[in-house]
Amino acid sequence: MTATELTTPPRIGSGFQGSARDQIGDYFRNMRNGDMGALPALAGFVVLSILFSFLNSFFLTPLNFANLLTQTATLMMLAMALVFVLLLGEIDLSAGVTSGVTAGIFIVLVKNFGVDWILAVLVAFAAGLAIGTFIGFFVARVGIPSFVVTLGLFLGFQGLQLLIIGTGGTIRVETPEISAIMNQNLPVVVGWALLAVALTIAVAISLWDRARRARAGVANRPLVLMWARLVLIGIGGALFVALLSIDRAASRGSLNGVAIETDPILGVPIVVPIAVGLLWIGTFVLDRTRYGRHLYAVGGNAEAARRAGIKVVSIRMSAFMVCSTLAVVAGLFDASRIGVVTAASGSQIVLSGVAAAVVGGVSLFGGRGRLIHAAIGALVIAVIANGLVLLGLPAGVNFLVTGGVLILAATVDALSRKRASGGVLR
The residue count for binding other proteins (CB under 8 A) is: 39
Window 393-422: contact mask with other proteins (x via CB under 8 A): ---------------------------xx-
For residue 155, the surrounding DSSP H or E stretch is helix 146-165
9 lines the binding site for other proteins (CB under 8 A) = yes
Task: Provide the 3-class DSSP secondary structure of residue 370.
Answer: coil
Which listed range, 77-85, 210-218, 251-259, 339-347, lies at the site for other proteins (CB under 8 A)?
210-218
Q: Min. distance of Cβ 250 from other proteins in angstroms?
A: 46
Which listed range, 14-22, 177-185, 323-331, 375-383, lies at the site for other proteins (CB under 8 A)?
14-22
Ranges of H-type helices in 218-370: 223-244, 271-288, 290-300, 302-307, 312-338, 350-360
Q: In residues, how long is the chain?
A: 426
Nearer to other proteins among residue 35 and residue 247 (C-beta) = 35
Nearest to 96 by CA among 365, 321, 380, 344: 344
Nearest to 86 by CA among 95, 97, 74: 95
Phi, psi of 378 (to 5 degrees): -65, -40
**Member of 2, 3, 10, 254 binding other proteins (CB under 8 A):** 10
143 lines the binding site for other proteins (CB under 8 A) = no
Phi, psi of 177 (to 5 degrees): -65, -35
Nearer to other proteins among residue 15 and residue 176 (C-beta) = 15
Nearer to other proteins among residue 176 and residue 277 (C-beta) = 277
The set of long-range contacts for 194-201, using a CB threshold of 8 Å and a minimum separation of 24, is 194/268, 194/273, 195/237, 195/238, 195/240, 195/241, 198/237, 198/276, 198/280, 199/230, 199/233, 199/234, 199/237
307 lines the binding site for other proteins (CB under 8 A) = yes
**Member of 19, 200, 262, 301 binding other proteins (CB under 8 A):** 301
200 lines the binding site for other proteins (CB under 8 A) = no
Which listed range, 152-160, 267-275, 288-296, 350-358, lies at the site for other proteins (CB under 8 A)?
288-296
Query: What is the torsional sign of CA 136, 137, 140, 145?
Result: negative
CB neighbourhood size of 81 (10 A): 33
303 lines the binding site for other proteins (CB under 8 A) = yes
Q: Min. distance of Cβ 354 from other proteins in angstroms?
A: 19
Residues 327, 102 contacting (CB under 8 angstroms): yes
Nearest to 161 by CA among 348, 319, 353: 348
Nearest to 336 by CA among 158, 124, 62, 168: 124
**Member of 63, 144, 180, 213 binding other proteins (CB under 8 A):** 213
Nearer to other proteins among residue 222 and residue 267 (C-beta) = 222
**Member of 29, 32, 141, 212 binding other proteins (CB under 8 A):** 212
Q: Which of residues 349-368 bind other proteins (CB under 8 A)?
A: 367-368
Which listed range, 60-68, 209-217, 239-247, 249-257, lies at the site for other proteins (CB under 8 A)?
209-217
Nearer to other proteins among residue 172 and residue 311 (C-beta) = 311
**Member of 305, 326, 356, 362 binding other proteins (CB under 8 A):** 305
Nearer to other proteins among residue 62 and residue 300 (C-beta) = 300
Nearer to other proteins among residue 234 and residue 300 (C-beta) = 300
Which listed range, 106-114, 165-173, 182-190, 298-306, lies at the site for other proteins (CB under 8 A)?
298-306
Nearest to 374 by CA among 364, 354, 363, 360: 360
Burial of 63 (0-12, 13-18, 19+ CB in 10 A): middle
Nearer to other proteins among residue 143 and residue 422 (C-beta) = 422
Query: Interface residues with other proteins (CB under 8 A)?
Result: 9-16, 33, 35, 209, 212-218, 288-290, 293-294, 296-297, 299-301, 303-305, 307-310, 367-368, 420-421
